[in-house]
Structure 1
Amino acid sequence: MTEFTKRAIQIIASIPAGTVMTYGQIAALAGSPRGARQIVRILHSMSQKHKLPWHRVINAKGKIGLQDFDSMTLQKMLLEGEGVTVSKTGDIDLERFQHHPEPGLARFPD
């Protein structure tokens, strides 16, 4: 497992209930500002194994990025269960619900 993947898993695992982070935000904090698609891959392949709160990760526009109706509905339900307001179209107010880790907490040694 690469250092980037380890860092990304740690960041995703630390997202508090009732908040969200974006794929790009996680990638940047993990050390690869252009690695948002890698975060998608990590979530797809490792969420179950590492018990990651995959539902707390959304796209940079503040929307649920999943296209499959059942998956989008599940993500919406899980977020709403934690108190996150999600519109019918999957929009989430990033100003209100985006998690910003404290400086230093999300930084990892090279």
Structure 2
Amino acid sequence: MPDATQDAAARILAAVRAIPRGQVAGYGEVARRAGLPGRARLAARVLSQNTDRTLPWHRVLRADGRIAFPEGSAGYREQCQRLRAEGVAVVDGRVRRELMAGAHGDLDAMVWGPPPR
């Protein structure tokens, strides 16, 4: 893997690790936070090739909040189970929009920003 590709992959994996427990983000949001705007497909590819079992991959969804795995597949069932174990409501393979990073501003602002008035 060329250095630039390794660097991009490392940045994507770091962005996934930064998603707090009980929160989710879309592939595009992960790419943006990794400094790779517009590279959602790269984020998906990096995650599909990941072998680190400690990576919280289950917190990454499609932009509309849907799980990317085919419904009923082992990956789909595992992702639903992992998200629910963190208190994330998954209904019909979709997470409520307000839990998605970017739905009400970016994830950094939601986590570290000032409290709402």
TM-score by length of 2: 0.76
Q: Give the Cα–Cα distance (whole angstroms) in 2 for the partners of residues 102 and 8 of structure 1.
A: 19
Shift of 1:102: 4.0
Cα offset for 1:10? 0.8
Measure the CA separation in 1 of the matches of 2:52 and 2:22. Answer: 22
Deviation at 1:79?
A: 0.3
Amino acid at match of 2:67: I
Separation (CA, whole Å) in 2 of partners of 1:31 and 1:45? 20
Distance in 2 between the 1:23 and 1:45 partners? 14
- Bigger CA radius of gyration: 2
Q: Could you tell me which amino acid in structure 2 is paired with residue 79 of structure 1?
A: L
Provide the secondary structure at the position in 2 that maps to 1:66: coil
In 1, the alpha carbon distance for the partners of 2:108 and 2:57 equals: 17
3-state secondary structure, aligned to 1:49:
coil
The number of equivalent residue pairs is 101
Match of 2:20 in 1: 16
Residue of 35, 59, 64 corresponding to 1:61? 64
Shift of 1:50: 6.6
Determine which structure has greater relative contact order: mean sequence separation of CA pairs < 8 Å that are 6+ residues apart, divided by chain length: 1
**Identity of matched residues, %:** 32
Tell me how large the CA RMSD over aligned residues is.
2.0
Change (3 A) 1:38 1:70: same
5+ unaligned residues in a row in structure 2: which ranges?
102-106, 113-117
Instruction: Measure, in 1, the Cα distance between the counterparts of 2:49 and 2:93.
Output: 23
In 1, the alpha carbon distance for the partners of 2:84 and 2:53 equals: 22
Deviation at 1:29, TM superposition (A): 1.6
Asked if 1:52 corresponds to 2:67, the answer is: no
Q: Residue 101 of structure 1 is aligned with which of 89, 92, 108?
A: 108
Name the aligned partner's letter for residue 54 of structure 2: K
TM-score (norm 1): 0.81
For structure 1, list consecutive stretches of 5 or more residues without a partner in the other structure: 106-110
Taking the TM superposition and a 5 Å limit, the aligned residue runs for 1:53-92 are: 53-67=56-70, 69-87=73-91, 89-92=92-95
Residue 21 of structure 1: how far off its partner (Å): 0.7
